[in-house]
Chain A
Amino acid sequence: GENVEQHPSTLSVQEGDSAVIKCTYSDSASNYFPWYKQELGKGPQLIIDIRSNVGEKKDQRIAVTLNKTAKHFSLHITETQPEDSAVYFCAASIILSGYSTLTFGKGTMLLVSP
């Protein structure tokens, strides 16, 4: 099955700095890669996603890049703010025998210090 590796497990930055989280996936059939932000005690919130026919996507301070050849995708957050502090999960979506499932990485805890 699909396997998603995510690094780093924790990331501490100063307010205003950039943060980069990297993920790799194993199954070349995966073609959709969402990123979720999870705050303490809450469910995952979709923040950005990218499909396999696109190499890069940007939404204000957040951008995602995808390298299908290397099976690698990354989340970039610029001008970080304390409210960006949360756990971020990458995921890969694959269709299996008529259903689709998300395989998640283990998460990155981002701490933004004022």
Chain B
Amino acid sequence: DAGVTQSPTHLIKTRGQHVTLRCSPISGHKSVSWYQQVLGQGPQFIFQYYEKEERGRGNFPDRFSARQFPNYSSELNVNALLLGDSALYLCASSPDPPRAGNTIYFGEGSWLTVV
């Protein structure tokens, strides 16, 4: 079975531009979360979606937005890119509704470099 798949794997953008990152969860998983991992740090929570509804948001500016589609895939959008947005963006899926104790599986991530 395919794991969590993300695209693109690598991309380079210029400051001020916009980026869209895509994620397909494991088949049957309805919960998708997004995390940002800056080099040398652990992942930080950005968003959680379940059944196409935003369930939670981390401490990120409004330039970050996301959505989940009827097939449970998801997009993360970042506007007005800053150099500090350079990071590995990880998508994670879970088979269960949002609750503590969910087993969460990560994709390989999308490496974003802002120049």
CB distance from B91 to the nearest CB of A (A): 9
A32 and B109 within 8 A (CB): no
Interface membership of B72, Cβ < 8 A: no
The count of chain B contact residues (Cβ–Cβ below 8 Å) is 28
Interface residues of A in 41-55 (CB under 8 A from B): 42-46, 49, 51
B42 and A46 within 8 A (CB): no
Residue of A nearest to B33 (CB): A101
CB distance from B102 to the nearest CB of A (A): 6
**A43-B109, A95-B98, A97-B56 as given contacts; A102 in contact with B45, CB under 8 Å:** yes
**A44-B43, A104-B42, A106-B41 as given contacts; A98 in contact with B104, CB under 8 Å:** no
Interface SS majority for chain B = loop
- Contact among A4, A45, A100, A105 with B102 in the assembled complex (CB-CB below 8 Å): A100
B42 and A42 within 8 A (CB): no
**A44-B90, A98-B55 as given contacts; A107 in contact with B103, CB under 8 Å:** no
B56 and A45 within 8 A (CB): no
The count of chain A contact residues (Cβ–Cβ below 8 Å) is 32
- Point out residues on B near A: beta carbons under 8 Å: 4, 33, 35, 40-45, 48, 50, 55-56, 58, 88, 90, 98-109
- Point out residues on A near B: beta carbons under 8 Å: 4, 6, 29-32, 34, 36, 42-46, 49, 51, 89, 91, 93-107
